[in-house]
A = this chain, B = another copy of it.
Amino acid sequence: MASGKILVAQGGGPTAVINQSLVGVALEARRHHKVERVYGARHGVRGILNEDFVDLTQETSHNLELVAATPGSALGSTRDKPDARYCHEIFEVLRRHAIEHFFYIGGNDSSDTVRIVSEEARRAGYPLRCIHIPKTIDNDLVGNDHTPGFPSAARFVAQAFAGVNLDNAALPGVYVGVVMGRHAGFLTAASALGKKFPDDGPHLIYLPERVFDIAQFLADVKATCARHGRCVVAVSEGIHDASGTPMLGLLARELERDAHGNVQLSGTGALADLLCEEIRSKLGIQRVRGDTFGYLQRSFIGCVSDVDQREAREVGEKAVQFAMWGTQDGSVAIRRTGFYSVDYELLPLEAVAGKTRVMEDAFITPQGTDVTDAFRLYLRPLLGSGMPDAFRLRAAPVPRRPA
């Protein structure tokens, strides 16, 4: 190691297990006698700019374990995207503290942040080892079998649809649930894992990997209602028409964009309401309900995959090991090695940063409204142990009696 001080921070949306990775870094780093201090920057890269550090070396390992099991980003997060000037201010602060290792836990945008910081550090001649630690409920990082945070969010979505299906079976009608996922449909597709019996919902799944056609959508809903007397639909917030325009964009007047140029799709119920209104008015169905799962799916406390917890911890630990024994900046990635086992590798930052993985064609049925068994095989082990199960009455119908 170059210096005795390391810095860790968290970027982007929190997940159920991102604190596992933070604690993985902190505990693994504290084990090495050359590590003098483990600092955490508050609210991501902005915390470096603001010189807002906490000393994780002064935290008990007991409390770190409790924080690891808590959802959210314990250090705080940011959506800031640094440019060259931002980076130079960062290096100035790091220099004052003699910090020469930077670990950043985040998704797509955060991996790009690490790439920028790494490149600017090299250009500026500042000796900084930069490691990106993966995290995103969207599961859209290339080079990874899957990303920490996704399995727990997927479990929430699967459990939510398993419950919603029971509710909808009791009081039949049409139900539309809108799930997060701007470009990648993995989380929406996870709704299929809530199905048990052949007539269970979700009966229709709409992913951003396919063009959304409102006329076809209405025909699909109508056909499902004719067959099952009800219809449960899972829709990605990122569904779009053939031109790529988000369906939500077609009705939203003012779109809020973050520093990465992303339009706000979550935190509004507009898409669910729009689709429900179409069903009500065009199909004449009265009981139509729409929910937007919103922030619950990434922040709900008490719904987590134990596999996800374990892997999120390990990517943090491995990041420190790659930094200590390796000679490269990079992005830690999860590779699947068996059914079910994983290992970790360090990918070049430019292989991951700013690239978006979407669902493979083999995971989507030809009709585009359901997932394949290949996807079920892919996702099931990630959901972890103790998935709740739904049961139904099989009692014999009572013969009618003559009046």
Contact = CB atoms under 8 A, between A and B. Distances in A.
A403 interface: yes
A54 B170 contact: no
Contacts of A194: 301
Contact of A175 (B74, B295, B391): B295
A300 B74 CA distance: 26
Nearest to A38: B395
A298 interface: yes
Interface in A147-167: 159-160, 162-164, 166-167
B295 A292 contact: no
A14 B163 CA distance: 10
Interface residues of A, number: 84
A67 B392 contact: yes
Contacts of A345: none
Given A268-B290, A276-B267, A395 B167 contact: no
B72 A14 contact: no
Contacts of A402: 96
Contacts of A295: 163-164, 167, 175, 289, 291
Contact of A171 (B79, B273, B276): B79
A69 interface: yes
* Centre residue among A40, A393, A394 by max chain B CB count within 10 A: A393
Q: How many copies does the complex hold?
A: 2
Contacts of A362: none
A145 to B, nearest CB: 25
A237 to B, nearest CB: 12
Interface string A255-299: 010000000001111101100100000000010111111111011
Nearest to A98: B401
Interface in A364-403: 387-398, 400-403
Contacts of A96: 401-403
B55 A395 contact: yes
B289 A269 contact: no
A270 B269 contact: yes
Interface stretch (A58-66, A116-124, A322-330, A332-340): A58-66
A71 interface: yes
A198 interface: no
A53 interface: yes
Interface string A82-111: 000000000010001100000000000000
Given A70-B392, A159-B300, A398-B39, A286 B167 contact: no
A303 interface: yes
A236 interface: no
A75 interface: yes
A51 interface: yes
Contacts of A14: 166-167, 170-171
Contacts of A286: 256
Given A56-B395, A400-B51, A299 B167 contact: yes
A166 B71 contact: yes
A302 interface: yes
23 contacts: A13-B167, A40-B393, A55-B395, A59-B394, A59-B395, A70-B391, A71-B166, A72-B169, A72-B390, A74-B393, A78-B171, A96-B402, A159-B302, A163-B296, A163-B300, A167-B295, A167-B298, A194-B301, A269-B269, A269-B270, A269-B292, A273-B273, A302-B303
Given A13-B167, A71-B166, A163-B295, 7 more contacts: A43-B170, A54-B398, A69-B391, A159-B302, A256-B286, A268-B289, A289-B295
Interface of A: 10, 13-14, 39-40, 43, 51-56, 58-59, 63, 66-67, 69-79, 92, 96-97, 159-160, 162-164, 166-167, 169-171, 175, 194, 256, 266-270, 272-273, 276, 286, 288-296, 298-303, 387-398, 400-403
